[in-house]
Amino acid sequence: LAGRAPDPHIADAGSITLACALGYFDWRKQIEWREEFPALIGWLDAFREAFPAFDATKADIEISGQSKEPLNKLPFEMRGGIL
């Protein structure tokens, strides 16, 4: 997907879905996508610039007790049974 990302200047279902997923990953810190897919960083920046409403609708909440470690790096017991 990083090599075939949708046009960040068109707000269609694919672009909105990708932007929301990447934003969610940034918020939850469960997946270190920025290190693994650096091309998507520029894509997300371009999408945010093209559609400021994306950031305007971002929730300003913290997850109580959220670990700073990505979920996939926590011991299984701390993942709540999630693989």
Q: Report which of residues 58 and 16 the model is more confident about.
A: 16
Q: Residues 6 or more apart from 11 whose CB is under 8 A from it?
A: 50, 51
Kindly report the average pLDDT of the chain as a whole number: 79
pTM of this prediction?
A: 0.68
Residue 29 confidence (pLDDT): 83
3-state secondary structure of 40: helix
Specify which of 1-5, 43-47, 59-63, 76-80 reaches the highest per-range mean pLDDT.
Answer: 43-47
User: How many degrees, rounded to 5, is the angle at CA 19 between CA 10 and CA 23?
Assistant: 155
Model confidence over 41-54: pLDDT tens digits? 999 999 999 999 99
Q: What is the residue type of 59?
A: A
